[in-house]
Amino acid sequence: MGKETSKKIESEVRGYVRSFPTTFKSAIGSTLVNEKGVEYIDFFGGAGALNYGHNNPHMKKLLIDYLQADGIVHGLDFATTPKHAFLNAFQDKILKPRDLDYKVQFTGPTGTNTVEAATKLAQIVTGRNHIVSFTNGYHGHSKGALRLTANRHYRQGLENDIGQFTTFLPYCGYMDDDFSSLDYFDKVLSDPGSGMDLPAAVILEVVQGEGGINVASVEWLQRIRDITTRHDIMLIVDDIQAGCGRTGDFFSFEESGIKPDLITLSKSLSGFGLPMSVLLISPKFDIWEPGQHTGTFRGLNLAFLTATEAIERYWADDKFSAEVKRKGKLMRSLLQEIWDENPKLIKEVRGRGLMIGVEFINEDWAQEIAHSAYGEFLIIETCGAKSHVLKFLPSLTITESEIREGVRLLRIIMEKVKTK
């Protein structure tokens, strides 16, 4: 009945329900359960929004107690107890230990809201309109964010409307020589006859999620930071999917040592799958006038509550970070074994932390394997411009046994694909 209702009433735009054609009823940790009681291992993680698993028990109890006490839920940008608790925890447990100094702007419920705020602020600060993005970059689906998103599929029908004021440069690894494109970028910025307008900002993902789990090197990131600094261009790191611990560090850029001017966070920031996004602003660029950028749903206090719990419980020291990195190495090693056994099927296994991609030699195999995985009770999706990369985004709290079981199922699926 549920699936038929969706087909009859819901828009044709629906996507994931087509890939996973069942009706889910409950979930806990890394397990999804449909209405017939069938269990699935979740390597999808709410597209990166469930870093701490489904119905995290610690956060769930806080929510229940808070609601029973009539705690404020909708708060616009009112001062509230949960908001203050979040800001204090974020400052003391996330920013200070990393020697980072940022103002926090609550921009709205989704990642694309904070990308819009970031680019708008960069344009106001610099007085310029031009933004530089990268091949295979993904930054959201609202119009402003979509003009920074490289995938042609998402831009279809809007090409003439959104293509102005954006330049796409080759991302790290896109060309044979990673630094030739940066040499070009640096040179044209220095040459008034180059035809390139000085950008307001450069926006990038340290690990491109939707673009295919493409990982930027430390050296490439440091060079980008150097170029943007010398040419007075703001650097925006989009950490919506790769942030909040997904790569093993809370911020994906920590290993490189760079300090972006603006950072976008969303997805797993709330810790519970509740809508929440923030823009982190280097203080010298926080030139907003009161109410200049606003929105009705900037203050979901339930999200503040669970986000604070996530920080206090998982990021008060380095233990959780080390566990994520250990589990990531385990998963990559298990996938590497499959690669070694199937060198004619798999092109590469790549990623950082628990953000891993498997690229196949045949561009159709990733979709075929993801579809077959559903039949083996494993939920996983694809990414990349041609959906040619199998994308692993399990919860960061997933157990080692669940990782091994999920990869075991994948091995079974691979054998079936080989024999076709």
**Has residue 392 got a pLDDT over 80?**
yes
Q: Count how many Cα atoms sit within 13 Å of the Cα of residue 269 in the half-sphere of its side chain.
A: 32
Identify whether residues 158 and 302 lie together within a single domain.
Answer: yes
The pLDDT of residue 12 is 87
**Has residue 351 got a pLDDT over 90?**
yes
CATH of the domain at 88: 3.40.640.10
Identify whether residues 125 and 65 lie together within a single domain.
Answer: yes
Whether residue 28 is contained in a domain is answered as: no
The pLDDT of residue 19 is 87
Query: What confidence tier does 151 reach under pLDDT thresholds 50, 70, 90?
Result: confident
Query: What confidence tier does 18 reach under pLDDT thresholds 50, 70, 90?
Result: confident
pLDDT digit string, tens, across residues 51-87: 999 999 999 999 999 999 999 999 999 999 999 999 9
Whether residue 24 is contained in a domain is answered as: no
Using an 8 Å Cβ cutoff, are 168 and 150 in contact? Answer: yes
Identify whether residues 195 and 83 lie together within a single domain.
Answer: yes
155 burial via Cβ count (<10 Å: 0-12, 13-18, 19+): middle
Mean pLDDT of 25-45: 97
Mean pLDDT of 132-143: 92
pLDDT digit string, tens, across residues 247-269: 999 999 999 999 999 999 999 99
The pLDDT of residue 124 is 97
Q: Distance between CA atoms of 140 and 10, rounded to whole angstroms?
A: 22
Whether residue 206 is contained in a domain is answered as: yes
The pLDDT of residue 98 is 98
**Has residue 1 got a pLDDT over 60?**
no
Domain-ending residue, one of 314, 348, 380: 314
Domain-ending residue, one of 314, 330, 355: 314
**Has residue 11 got a pLDDT over 60?**
yes
Mean pLDDT of 225-233: 98
Identify whether residues 127 and 269 lie together within a single domain.
Answer: yes
Identify whether residues 104 and 155 lie together within a single domain.
Answer: yes
Using an 8 Å Cβ cutoff, are 130 and 168 in contact? Answer: no
Whether residue 35 is contained in a domain is answered as: no
Mean pLDDT of 318-330: 98
* pLDDT, greater one: 420 or 41: 41
The pLDDT of residue 36 is 96
How much is the mean pLDDT over the chain? 94
Identify whether residues 231 and 264 lie together within a single domain.
Answer: yes
Query: What confidence tier does 180 reach under pLDDT thresholds 50, 70, 90?
Result: confident
**Has residue 92 got a pLDDT over 80?**
yes
> The domain containing residue 155 runs over which residues?
60-314
Lowest mean pLDDT among 131-145, 313-327, 391-405: 131-145
Identify whether residues 294 and 379 lie together within a single domain.
Answer: no
**Has residue 293 got a pLDDT over 90?**
yes
* CA pseudo-torsion sign 104, 105, 110, 111: negative
Mean pLDDT of 221-239: 98
Q: Residues 6 or more apart from 293 whose CB is under 8 A from it?
A: 105, 107, 117, 120, 121
> Residue 398, Cβ neighbours under 10 Å: how many?
22
Whether residue 380 is contained in a domain is answered as: yes
The pLDDT of residue 2 is 59
**Helix H or strand E encompassing 18:** helix 16-19
Mean pLDDT of 289-301: 92
Domain-ending residue, one of 297, 314, 331: 314
Whether residue 133 is contained in a domain is answered as: yes
* pLDDT, greater one: 6 or 115: 115
* pLDDT, greater one: 234 or 413: 234
Identify whether residues 346 and 238 lie together within a single domain.
Answer: no
pLDDT digit string, tens, across residues 195-213: 888 999 999 999 999 999 9
Whether residue 194 is contained in a domain is answered as: yes
Whether residue 160 is contained in a domain is answered as: yes
Number of structural domains the chain divides into: 2
**Has residue 164 got a pLDDT over 80?**
no
**Has residue 136 got a pLDDT over 80?**
yes
**Has residue 161 got a pLDDT over 70?**
no
Identify whether residues 155 and 171 lie together within a single domain.
Answer: yes
**Has residue 279 got a pLDDT over 60?**
yes
CATH of the domain at 339: 3.90.1150.10
Identify whether residues 244 and 380 lie together within a single domain.
Answer: no
Using an 8 Å Cβ cutoff, are 293 and 107 in contact? Answer: yes
Identify whether residues 302 and 354 lie together within a single domain.
Answer: no
Identify whether residues 93 and 225 lie together within a single domain.
Answer: yes
The whole-angstrom distance between residue 33's C-alpha and the CA centroid of its chain comes to 25
The neighbouring-strand residues paired with 167 are 132
Q: Distance between CA atoms of 211 and 217, rounded to whole angstroms?
A: 16
Distance (Å) of CA 97 to CA 92, 315, 359 = 7, 10, 36
The pLDDT of residue 166 is 87
**Has residue 285 got a pLDDT over 90?**
yes
